[in-house]
Structure 1
Amino acid sequence: MAKISITWIIKNQRGQIKGPYTTIEVLNFISGGTFSGEEQITKYPGGEWTTISKEPEFYEKILETLENQLKDSTPIPKEPKNETKNVNKAKVNTPNLDETVAVPADQRSVVKQTIIPQQAPKAPTATSSPESLKQFLSQQKPDVIELKSIDTERKKDSLDTLRWPIFGAILIAALALIYFGLFDDESHEASDKIILIAPGASKDVLKQNEIDARVTKSLQLVSMDTPEKYAEAQSVLVSTIENSIKNIKARMVLCVVYKELWVYSRQNSNDQKAILQVAKQTKSLNKIDPAGMLCEAVKLVTEGRYSEAQSVVDKAMEKDYTNFFLYQLKGEILEHENQKLVAENFYQKAKELSGQWVKPVFSQAMINAKLNDTNKAYQLFAAALKINKQHKNSIFGLGILEANRGQQDKAISYITNGLSLDGMMDKNIESQGIESLVEIYLIKGDKKKANELANLNLSKNPSKKSAIHLCDRLGGCDKSVVKNAKPDEELFFSCQSLFRQKEYLQSQAECKSAFELNKKNGAAALTAGESLWFLGQSMEAISWIEKAIKSDPKNYKAYLKKAEFLSDRFDFIEAERVLMQADYVSGKTSYEVQRGFAYLAFKKRDYPSTLKLAEKALKNYDADLESIILYSSAARNMAVAFKVSSQKDQEQRQKLAQDAYAYALKAIELDSTSIQAQINYAKVIATRQGVEIGGDYLIELIKLYPTLYEYRIALAEIYIEEEHFKQAIEELQKVLAINSKDKKALMAIAKSYFQVGDQDRATTAYLTASNLDPSDAEPIFEVAKIYMESGKIDLSLIQFERVLGLNKKYPKANFYIGRLMILKGNYSEAEKFAEIEKKMYPQLTDPYLLIAEIKYISKNYSDCAAEYARATNFGSQPAAVYVKAAKCYRLSGQLDMAQGFIDIAAEKESGFEEIYKEQGALFESRGDTISAIRSYCKYAELSPNSKDQDLIKSQIQALGGECGD
């Protein structure tokens, strides 16, 4: 196999992409006039765009071409439209131009599809036999597949662009670049990150034999197990998928390619979206096909959700036990879980089924090296190199083994050979190999060579501790590479990876370090804050989010995260202020900001506003999963709380329930692996079809993912809603047995204990949750309510004051202190705290009701009536509120107003007994004795065991009446 060389892709003046080409091919194109020097060029994969004339490797050739053109005084005619002759016909070794590279959809333009010979071996299906899988891999040649022709483009872009003015401009620009020293090799070094490319819209263009040939070609590239070959395979597969709509095999292989390229990618949101898109599309083609399941598992692995991925892989393997990709993935998951011996068995099976794939052979070799089975590891590395002689990871693996065995010359030979090869490789293995060489040369007494290699290692890994320590030990390293390097980027890359794997303790540490190295790296501060939040350090988390905002004031996502955290801490006023800032910074166009407002409304239990705001976000981006879940959850909560008193009410409730279901279903369709989408769907069907149906759905998910305690917590929450508290406690105890520090489970089990009357256990659970995050006021608030409920007034007051110490804007904290003051007989203090609550949360009805109660006790009936009336302005209230308002209006002499409120109460809940007691008093005030007796009798009938039963009977008798008349 030829040595892997640097390749390039070209973008012409029309924005069309061509390539990849080798350096020699690009030089030939320049000589032949195909490229003028004004085109954009980048190393492939992962380089940065620049003009060809600015690339040092092509500058001399451009000058040479210009010189030749200046000598030729004959005008260069344009080629006729239909002429098919090749401009480079005279050149013997001019490469074929019909090649392609997959690029983002907005930059792609497939000009011509080249038909691949029909005699190419047919690509195996997911259920093909091991023999056929071996055959297709062994029969392929490492040719680059031809996907795009630039022949027509060459006619348009060739010699007519090489006119005098352009030549002059290029020449002047080139000379200026030289003069100002812009041809700096370091500035043109290719990025070491590969971009994951999602296919654009598909159309049926290719015939089946063409599809089969392309899939076969991609599998041959995959078999080599190098980043460059995977990147080539990505190009082939993306183009194939774009030109064949229902091609599930190509999508499956592309998912595998994504997994292999993931460690070499930027791992940013665009890379994640590419994987999500292909996984979703593959699953939608056939929900039970192993190909879709494999793609789903790949998505989960890249998100660090290994236990879920293993369940999906196991399910897929039940349907297809010959798919070597599944065995390889299962082995990797097991190895991640430190089950090395079991993992090796799966690698062995993947090797047997594939026949020619290097990956499982190398994976086996690495496991045996870790298990110190040197001989077996050596044989496996050698076996990998028989398939691909330039497999750098295996070459380095052999070198490291030889170094460990004391075979110094062999180690030098292997590792030096590996270093001479182009292409990317595992950075840890490469560094370990170079460090082994350093030690060997030190033993040999060649300190100069050792220093050279230590410098090389440091330049490749400027932030790696072992590389820095080795240089410190030798004392001859050029530390300027460390100063000039960007170690914060490597740390940030690592911290993001740890964050996805939910390793929050390590993640926050690495992100903090990255930020300390570069105070402009706001994204590192943001991820540090998110990690700290998951560790229960909410105040420190918010402080790191604030650092992110200070570092990059234009990053509205940092504002959104701060607002989310503040909302979760019930600091609604500050959360709204931060969201307003985010809205301004984003230019008032971001759907994410609208979603932030929707989330704030949801936390405030303002569900109608949640619906409106989530809908507004979805108008800007209809596939926003979080907005869809918010809408569904808010609609469900409204349906649950909806009081039905008429046919119209019933219809409204049904519509809300239907909307909740429709949006929940849409969320599942968008991302079936989303835990929150699955939980929301289960809760919606529990509301719509009954707790058993919703519970059963979650129980099935628990069976699939037994280690994911989120589903057990959700099941417990459904039980709590339906007041099945003992069942909820059972589920939550299972969660806490797995993770005793799960705050959400502790809060839920505390609530359940309280509902079954076990106040001591409830208090203990709340206090345990508080210890996990001492800055969170919520568990203390709940403890204070328990103390108040049990009559421990002073203890309750202390806890509520603690709440205000943690969060002075905590909703209802001042309200409850006011209520405690009433119990202590301090009405002026009670009213003061109620007024504070009302000022902070003017839309909250509780402080108005509390002030009304205080006014009633103080016999200030006019003000009492006014406060109750204000409370009813904030939406529908329970019938009891209207009855109390009527009572204050009656006692203040406003009988007509009192009757109006009684009528409203009767419309809302005609069976509420207090209505008739107050109605009797109102009739009595009007002098309507008969109606008063009738109303009092109705009250006595509806509440035969009321405490004032004797008093009511006495009142009826005093009016000269008797019930039953």
Structure 2
Amino acid sequence: MSNRNRKWIIKDSEGRVHGPFSTEKILTKIGQGELIGDEFIASFPGGDWFLISQEPEFYDRLIEVLAGSSGSGEDEEALSDFGDLEDLESAELQESSSQKRFGDEENVKRSRDSNYREKEKLNVEGEFNQNFSSHKGSKEKPKEKNRVKRQSISEDFRNENSKNKSSKSSAEKRKQKREMDSESVIELTDLGQLMRQERMRRVRLPIFLGIIAILVGVYFHLDKGERSERVHLVHLGTKKSSIPKDQLAKRIQRAQAYYSAGNFSRLLQAENELIQIIESEDRNAPMMALLCLTYFELWPYAYQDSHDLKAISIVSQKVNRVDPGGQNSATCQVVDLLARGRFLEAKNMTESILGNYGAASSPPVPFYYFKAYLLSGSKELSTAISYLNSAQQLSPGWLSPYVLEGEIHSKKGNTTEAAKIYQKILQQNPHHKVAKIKLGLIEMRDFNHLEKGTSLLKEALAASDLVPSRVFSDAFFGLAEAALLRQDKGQALAYAQRAYFYNSSNAGAKNLIVSLGGTE
């Protein structure tokens, strides 16, 4: 399979997965500013996750976009003659049965950087600087240059031998031959490699200085209280808790209500309640499954490192001993697979459970949600909605399926239906910050209710509850757009800086900062 036809899946900063996309499609997304280099990608199917900037072809495009290169112009044309930077690094992702855990990206990066430095070292040994300076200004194609050099070197060598044949000893001639051979090796150095290195040296410094300047500016415009936070998932302990029997049923109902509410603070309360319930009732498989689902909802807020993966693994192993092969055990296994990015395995297990238990008296409600979640990054959005509707009918108080349905309707362009869903969520939970932000954006952008939309956004942002970083970014960018419509450029710039801080791949915020930065 050619590199351009390879398929990839993308994981954003919220842990949401999109795709699969072709290499060409991802290059287009980078060019449009939708991807900025902090996302993770994996070869589809079965690949391990690594930073998108570690794939050479995507790295080249990211550098071009950061440099403001349009892909045309004299400098670009001259440099393109020397080939792609893929010559420097060939590191295609190999499919492996053993999956890399989150948190290992740094080790992969060090290994890849080490290989890159070793190749760079080998390529620049010798007298490259002298040769590079002598050829840097040439307009000829590299292949033509090399042919000219070969002819010139050969002719000079023959003329020199003929001239000195009668006057030099054989020892001197051998010495000269060695010197000329050595000289020819130097002349035939990969000048394309040196040109690319020089280009990277010239481009990187202003790019990184510019990025640092933007980020420093954004940092000082932010209030400390507005920063997003990360949490660690709480591990299930081995210490036995004791909850009186007459209180246990009430605690279980409370945990279920907290989980169903769906907003961050309630999910933390659900996690705390479920930990205590399971430590008291260590064979309560349904509560273990609910704890796994709570972990899944908290995953966008988590560090997503080995500590958090272990939290899921502990519960998954425990429920598997209590309910081997059952729905509760499968629920935790699917959550574990999704957290590790093993989506094909999660999909297969989800479909297996739906096939085995879909017609049972106790349908596997979470698996309708899992199925919709796995389809939400594909083109089968209508099918995803049908699975969400099944989950909603079986568990009408559970708000997460409604949130996902609202997002899918917005993606399809059906913002009227999305607004109805977000209004329904807020009727059940007025503190659902994500729903309030998304409804505010629809009111402002799609219904032209500027005051109502901005009021909802400001009300949501004033609340102390957390939302994923990208949702924060969308909210602040919506306020920036509203300020711009009111001709308040100073306020628009401040909001755009906040939007960029929470999500550096927000191309709209970045462009707005650039357009307003020079006047404020």
TM-score range, shorter chain: 0.5 to 0.7
1:475 maps to: 517
Aligned-partner Cα distance in 1 for 2:431–2:267: 14
What secondary structure does 1:263 align onto? helix
Tell me, yes or no, if the aligned pair for 1:438 and 1:451 is still in contact at 8 Å. yes
Aligned-partner Cα distance in 2 for 1:209–1:333: 40
1:445 maps to: 487
Alignment of 1:597-676 (within 5 A): none
Larger CA deviation: 387-396 vs 325-334: 325-334
Deviation at residue 368 of structure 1 after TM alignment: 0.6
1:311 is aligned, of 348, 368, 375, to 348
Tell me, yes or no, if the aligned pair for 1:381 and 1:395 is still in contact at 8 Å. yes
Task: State whether structure 2 residue 326 is matched by structure 1 residue 289.
Answer: yes
Q: For structure 1, which runs of at least 5 residues remain unmatched after alignment?
A: 1-184, 479-965
Task: State whether structure 2 residue 432 is matched by structure 1 residue 395.
Answer: no
Per-residue CA deviation, residues 592-627 of structure 1 (Å, 9 max, x unaligned), is xxxxxxxxxxxxxxxxxxxxxxxxxxxxxxxxxxxx
Deviation at residue 462 of structure 1 after TM alignment: 5.4
- After TM superposition, the score normalised by the length of structure 1 is 0.29
Cα pair distance change 1:241/1:413, threshold 3 Å = same
Alignment of 1:795-834 (within 5 A): none
Cα pair distance change 1:418/1:251, threshold 3 Å = same
2:427 maps to: 386
2:408 maps to: 367
Deviation at residue 190 of structure 1 after TM alignment: 7.8
Amino acid paired to 1:294: T
1:250 is aligned, of 287, 290, 293, to 287
Aligned-partner Cα distance in 1 for 2:411–2:231: 28
What secondary structure does 2:376 align onto? helix
Cα pair distance change 1:465/1:346, threshold 3 Å = same
Per-residue CA deviation, residues 690-715 of structure 1 (Å, 9 max, x unaligned), is xxxxxxxxxxxxxxxxxxxxxxxxxx
2:373 is aligned, of 321, 326, 332, to 332
Q: For structure 2, which runs of at least 5 residues remain unmatched after alignment?
A: 1-221
Amino acid paired to 2:441: I
Deviation at residue 253 of structure 1 after TM alignment: 0.5
Cα pair distance change 1:204/1:444, threshold 3 Å = closer
Deviation at residue 209 of structure 1 after TM alignment: 4.4
Tell me, yes or no, if the aligned pair for 2:285 and 2:322 is still in contact at 8 Å. yes
Aligned-partner Cα distance in 2 for 1:373–1:309: 29
What secondary structure does 1:254 align onto? helix
Tell me, yes or no, if the aligned pair for 1:325 and 1:350 is still in contact at 8 Å. yes
Amino acid paired to 2:300: V
Aligned-partner Cα distance in 1 for 2:416–2:464: 28
Tell me, yes or no, if the aligned pair for 2:440 and 2:452 is still in contact at 8 Å. yes
Alignment of 1:406-805 (within 5 A): 406-461=448-503, 464-475=506-517
Deviation at residue 258 of structure 1 after TM alignment: 0.6
Kindly indicate whether structure 1 or structure 2 has the higher relative contact order, using CA contacts under 8 Å at least 6 residues apart.
2
Amino acid paired to 2:253: T
Deviation at residue 392 of structure 1 after TM alignment: 1.2
Tell me, yes or no, if the aligned pair for 1:455 and 1:477 is still in contact at 8 Å. no
Aligned-partner Cα distance in 2 for 1:477–1:265: 38
2:274 maps to: 237
Identity %: 24
Per-residue CA deviation, residues 413-465 of structure 1 (Å, 9 max, x unaligned), is 22111111111113223322322221222122122321232233234345754
Amino acid paired to 2:426: L
Per-residue CA deviation, residues 830-883 of structure 1 (Å, 9 max, x unaligned), is xxxxxxxxxxxxxxxxxxxxxxxxxxxxxxxxxxxxxxxxxxxxxxxxxxxxxx
Task: State whether structure 2 residue 302 is matched by structure 1 residue 260.
Answer: no
Aligned-partner Cα distance in 1 for 2:459–2:225: 25
Aligned-partner Cα distance in 1 for 2:378–2:500: 31
Alignment of 1:95-110 (within 5 A): none
CA RMSD of aligned residues (A): 2.4
2:262 maps to: 225
What secondary structure does 1:437 align onto? helix
2:385 maps to: 344
- After TM superposition, the score normalised by the length of structure 2 is 0.53
Aligned-partner Cα distance in 2 for 1:253–1:214: 13
Tell me, yes or no, if the aligned pair for 1:458 and 1:467 is still in contact at 8 Å. yes
Task: State whether structure 2 residue 317 is matched by structure 1 residue 280.
Answer: yes
Tell me, yes or no, if the aligned pair for 2:353 and 2:364 is still in contact at 8 Å. no
Tell me, yes or no, if the aligned pair for 1:222 and 1:257 is still in contact at 8 Å. yes
What secondary structure does 2:325 align onto? coil
Deviation at residue 401 of structure 1 after TM alignment: 1.1
Deviation at residue 325 of structure 1 after TM alignment: 2.1
What secondary structure does 2:427 align onto? helix
Deviation at residue 412 of structure 1 after TM alignment: 1.2
Cα pair distance change 1:244/1:420, threshold 3 Å = same
Aligned-partner Cα distance in 2 for 1:189–1:373: 31
1:201 is aligned, of 218, 238, 243, to 238
Tell me, yes or no, if the aligned pair for 1:451 and 1:476 is still in contact at 8 Å. no
Aligned length: 294
Cα pair distance change 1:430/1:205, threshold 3 Å = closer
Tell me, yes or no, if the aligned pair for 1:351 and 1:360 is still in contact at 8 Å. yes
What secondary structure does 1:336 align onto? coil
Per-residue CA deviation, residues 753-812 of structure 1 (Å, 9 max, x unaligned), is xxxxxxxxxxxxxxxxxxxxxxxxxxxxxxxxxxxxxxxxxxxxxxxxxxxxxxxxxxxx
The runs of at least 4 aligned residues of structure 1 exceeding 4 Å deviation read 185-191, 462-465
Aligned-partner Cα distance in 2 for 1:422–1:192: 12
Deviation at residue 239 of structure 1 after TM alignment: 1.4
What secondary structure does 1:424 align onto? coil
Tell me, yes or no, if the aligned pair for 1:211 and 1:244 is still in contact at 8 Å. no
Task: State whether structure 2 residue 418 is matched by structure 1 residue 377.
Answer: yes
Deviation at residue 281 of structure 1 after TM alignment: 0.9
Tell me, yes or no, if the aligned pair for 2:241 and 2:276 is still in contact at 8 Å. no
Aligned-partner Cα distance in 1 for 2:519–2:334: 44
Aligned-partner Cα distance in 2 for 1:220–1:477: 50
